[in-house]
Amino acid sequence: MKDAQRGQSPFLVRYEDAAGEHEVLAKAVIDASGTMDTPNPGGASGIPARGEIALREHIFYGMPDVLGRDRTRYEGKRVLVIGSGHSAFNVLADLAKLADQIPGMQIHWALRRSSVARVLGGGENDQLKERGKLGLTIADLVRRGILSVATDFHLDKLERLPGGIVASSGATSLDAVDEIVVATGFRPDATLLSELRIALDHGTQAPAALAPLIDPNVHSCGSVRPHGAEELKHPDADVYIVGMKSYGRAPTFLLLTGYEQVRSVAAAIAGDWEAARRVELTLPETGVCITQFSDEDAEQSTPTSCCESAPAITTRSPSCCGGPAPAGTDACCVKDAQAKEAGKSGCGCKDAAPAVPATPSCCA
């Protein structure tokens, strides 16, 4: 609580190993502890759904090793995966591989988004090629009916019935399953820094200066301006949160961003603020130009019942993005601003590519 000489006092770091407890004094603290140990619950409200805690022995949070250590847990089972990010994609892809080897499996996918197309990414337009291929893999599994998809699903109850575990969203209940994988993201645990003065945004739980750059409610073009120590600093000098944990609950972190953060923070701690503020990173284009959550409310909900029309799966124009548009310009992204400055109508990223209809997951 004391202010006197706070800025001149070293940090006390306590750690424990096989020999017991130890303490060291430090000039700076960099928290790169990540968020993998604090996954979000399955409940759409941000807290566990009714019945979720009681059924935890049948729920895996994060990414299970479906094809390795956890294989027997899912062989021949009916599995529900909840989530719409790349963690969920990887789990779904592994479950599909397992289903090719083991008969009788059923794979269900529930996501809160109202459209599958909004989460599949840029496909071949994604400069992160493996991420693009992953989205194409999931799109193919949906088209072939390998995945039973429930969109606009906001889990509020899990219940064990004679036929298995039933997940519900309001009046909508999914088919019974044996196991559930919750891949709904992570949140930071700031307990490690509880004695320090840090400034976190209330919504994203990211450093206050970084939060506006990564907030998924307003952020567009699938990329974030490169940033470093200036955006990561806190009221207590020489305290930094880097890596995935720096993004709080935002889902847009890239490893390349983390590398740049660490480079900048190391320069700042060394006293070289010119190097700390210098941008030494060019983020790849994603091939997807819109990531905001707010405009989904205007979209028509995707039918989930048998034999109704399945969603169209679209990709965005490869000319999209290059990063957010410069401030004060009437443009959606950097390339759009450059095109308009050259006298053109724009970069064309608002025009979607032709839709590829998805085959319904049931019926002939």
360 neighbors 144 (Cβ within 8 angstroms): no
Angle 320-322-186 from CA coordinates, rounded to 5°: 95
Lowest-confidence range among 30-39, 113-122, 246-255, 336-345? 336-345
**Alpha-carbon span 230 to 260, nearest angstrom:** 12
48 neighbors 75 (Cβ within 8 angstroms): no
CA distances from 165 to 1, 87, 189 (A): 49, 22, 30
Band of residue 124 on the pLDDT scale cut at 50, 70, 90: confident
pTM score above 0.85: no
Q: Please name every residue paired with 172 in a beta bridge, in sequence order, or none if there are none.
A: 169
pLDDT recorded at residue 131: 81
Does pLDDT of 298 surpass 90?
no
Mean pLDDT score of the chain, rounded to an integer?
82
Return the CATH number of 56-185, one of 3.90.1200.10, 3.40.50.720, 3.50.50.60, 3.40.50.150: 3.50.50.60
**β pairing state of 179-182 and 59-61:** parallel
pLDDT recorded at residue 73: 97
Q: Please name every residue paired with 336 in a beta bridge, in sequence order, or none if there are none.
A: none
More confident residue, 157 or 323: 157
Domain ranges of the chain: 56-185, 190-284
**Alpha-carbon span 125 to 322, nearest angstrom:** 13
More confident residue, 334 or 191: 191
314 neighbors 356 (Cβ within 8 angstroms): yes
Helix, strand or coil for residue 40?
coil
Band of residue 326 on the pLDDT scale cut at 50, 70, 90: very low
Sorted by sequence, the CB contacts under 8 Å of residue 343 that are 6+ apart come out as none
Query: What average pLDDT does range 74-97 have in this prediction?
Result: 96
pLDDT recorded at residue 336: 64
pLDDT recorded at residue 330: 67
pLDDT recorded at residue 332: 62
More confident residue, 2 or 359: 2
Query: What average pLDDT does range 234-247 have in this prediction?
Result: 95
**Within 13 Å of residue 279, how many CA atoms lie on the same side as its CB?**
8
